[in-house]
Amino acid sequence: MPVTKILMEGIGEADLRSLDVYRQRGGYRQWERAVREMQPADVLALAEKSGLRGRGGAGFPTGKKWSFLPGKTFPRYLVCNCDEAEPGTFKDHMLLEEAPHLILEGMLIGAYGIASHHAFIYIRGEFKRGYEIFSAALEEARKAGYVGEKLFGTDYDLEVTVHRGAGAYICGEETGLLNSLEGKRGEPRLKPPFPAVEGLYGMPTVVNNVETLAYLVPILERGAEWFAAVGTERSKGYKIVSVSGHVRNPGNYEVPLGTTVREIIELAGGLRAGRTLMAVQPGGGSSACIFEEHLDWPYDYESMTKAGSMLGSGAFVVFDDTTDFVKAAFNLVRFFAHESCGQCTPCREGGSWLERVLERMVDRRGVPGDMEMLSRVSSSITGLNLCALGDSIEPFLRSVIVRFPEQFEQRILATAEQPA
């Protein structure tokens, strides 16, 4: 399996944080070309034609998302979502610290594509180093005339604002992010209205993931056809997969969509000697597990959905036979309960209840009925929530309860052992 390098080109080899190095390697040429030679509609057409889909989790077609903006409402904003917090995902973190100019160039092109004059980047609070690196890169780019007024001698102005989050998973949800960016409590908004109509400061807004925007640069450079030629029928192009868990070489690997699950595991060095695969969580903490029967399935949006899971943000967690799935489930449910904003009832109360029951089971203090409760409550809260967070609690838990019920059963006290 050859290593692909598109966005990751040069990472680990050259200091892409330096504007000079980035420029020597062709940096900002696509940005200049877009402003000088293209209309915003051309950029949008390229995005649509390339088949690029959102790399943040939902996989929504990027060009289509942009096209929802009402035609004549200004100002409008582009927001780059760099609040990467999905358990198991660390691709944006790497790009932010290693290739800040690439992100910025992608943001600039994206903003131009929706004819916006102000782009924002919302950086996860914990990424302090990345924030400093990106801010320095932005200042360099501004001095070099890539950001600001009358760009490249045209009438086009574009300002970029950097904003740091304060450490909340929910601010990665696009409307929670917008609230936080406005200085409000980071709670997802009630939809409709959707951000494309009423987003940041009540104006039409597009929120795109870091990786999504970064792919605009090679798409402009090499053409939509080049991108669309790779991948499967409805999952085009490349994806950075953050492989972690029980593999020998965890890390970020860029692959064409449609690469098989087995190939990705092999890219990361395969399992440790003597271990067998139990499960893979292919799309971050919110996704259900897939199992050995899916090893030769292509890793793309449709196949992962068909396998009962999702591709999500591309966080690829491998579990071998040393895994305690009760602990793993507790770990994730505790995460979601902790990160619930508490606005809506099912997520707030359901998450905390499931967490308490799982905590008992980890301590081997389960009582008869707990497994039924876990299945019943996790499934009944799904679909009732205001945002996707509450619906993210069930998938992993349910998939491992169904697959490894004995691990859960072992944690239930026999009736005789129960405290009176």
Partner 1 sequence: MSAPPLLARSDQLVKVTIDGIAIEVPKGTLLVEAAKTIGQEIPIYCYHTKLGPAGLCRICMVEIEGMPKLQIACNTTVTDGMVVRTKGPKVEAARATVLELFLVNHPLDCPICDKGGECDLQDYALAYGRGSSDVADPKLAKPKAVDLGPTIVLDEERCIVCQRCVRFDDIVARESQLVVKERGARDIIATATGRPYRHNFTGNVTELCPVGALTSKTYRFKSRPWDLDRTQTTCTQCSVGCQQYADVRYGTLLRTMLVEEDPISDGWLCDRGRYNVGFYESPQRLTQPLYRKNGRLVQVGWDDALILWCKALRQAIAASGPQSVGAIGGGRLTNEEAYLLQALFRALGARNLDWRGGRQRQATPGRHGGALAAIDSADAIVVAGNSPQERAPVLWLRMQKAVRENGARIVTASDAHSALQSSRDSARVALVWDGCDLATGREYAQAFEAVENLSAFITGEQGNARGAEAMGMLPRSGPGFSAADDGLDAYAMLENARNGELRVLSIFGANPARNANDPAAAAAALAATPFLVVSDLFMTETAERAALVLPAKGPFEKFGTTTNFAGELLPVNASLQAPEFALSDGEMLDALGDQLGVALPSSDDAHAIAVNLIAKSAADFTLGDERFAPEYPTAQRKTKILAGGGTWSHDPWLAGLRSEVS
Q: Which of 82, 203, 333, 377 binds partner 1 (CB under 8 A)?
A: 377
Q: Tell me if residue 330 falls in helix, strand or coil.
A: helix
Concatenating the DSSP letter of every residue in 167-199 gives S-GGGGSHHHHHHHHTTS---PPPSSSPTTTS-
For partner 1, the closer CB: 29 or 360:
360
Tell me if 168 sits within 8 A of 174, measured CB to CB: no
* Least distance from partner 1 to the Cβ atom of residue 386, Å: 5
- Sites for partner 1 among residues 249-288 (CB under 8 A): none
3-class state of residue 113 by DSSP: helix
List the beta bridge partners of residue 298: 260
Q: Per CB under 8 A, does 185 bind partner 1?
A: yes
Instruction: Please name the residue that has the structure tokens 């399992």.
Output: 271
Q: Is 351 in the site for partner 1 (CB under 8 A)?
A: yes
332 is a contact residue toward partner 1 (CB under 8 A): no
Q: How many residues bind partner 1 (CB under 8 A)?
A: 36
Task: Provide the strand spans (E) within 261-373.
Answer: 277-281, 315-320
Contact between 342 and partner 1 by CB under 8 A: the answer reads yes
Binding to partner 1 by residue 401, rule CB under 8 A? no
DSSP assignment, residue 289? Answer: P
Place of tokens 């045209």: 154
Residue selected from 73, 305, 345, 410 as contacting partner 1 according to rule CB under 8 A: 345
* 353 lies in the binding site for partner 1 (CB under 8 A): yes
Q: What are phi and psi of 222, to 5 degrees?
A: -105, -5
Q: How far is CA 26 from the centre of its chain?
A: 27
Q: Is residue 195 within the footprint of partner 1 (CB under 8 A)? A: no
Name the nearest CA neighbour of 169 among 184, 181, 186, 183.
186
Residue 202 is a binding residue for partner 1 (CB under 8 A): no
Stretch that binds partner 1, among 47-55, 280-288, 331-339, 403-411 (CB under 8 A): 331-339
Nearer to partner 1, 290 or 389 (CB): 389
Strand-pair category, 251-256 with 238-245: antiparallel
Nearer to partner 1, 185 or 248 (CB): 185
Task: Determine if 397 is a binding residue for partner 1 (CB under 8 A).
Answer: no
Q: Which is nearer to partner 1, 34 or 344 (CB)?
A: 344
Amino acid at 255: V
**The two three-digit tokens of residue 155, written as one number:** 């009438």
- Say if CB 169 and CB 85 are below 8 A apart: yes
Query: Is 357 a binder of partner 1 (CB under 8 A)?
Result: yes
Rounded (to 5) percent helix, strand, coil in the chain: 45, 15, 40
- Specify the stretch interacting with partner 1 by CB under 8 A; choose among 35-43, 198-206, 291-299, 352-360: 352-360
Contacts with 380 (C-beta within 8 Å, 6 or more apart), sequence order: none
As measured in angstroms, the least distance from the Cβ of 375 to partner 1 is: 11
337 binds partner 1 (CB under 8 A): yes
Question: Of 16-24, 42-50, 204-212, 364-372, which part binds partner 1 (CB under 8 A)?
Answer: 364-372
Q: Which of 24, 73, 380, 410 binds partner 1 (CB under 8 A)?
A: 380
Restricted to residues 161-180, the positions that interact with partner 1 (CB under 8 A) are 168, 170
Nearest to 323 by CA among 399, 395, 380: 399
What is the contact surface with partner 1 in residues (CB under 8 A)?
168, 170, 185, 190, 192, 337-346, 348-353, 356-357, 360, 367, 369-370, 373, 376-377, 380-381, 383-386
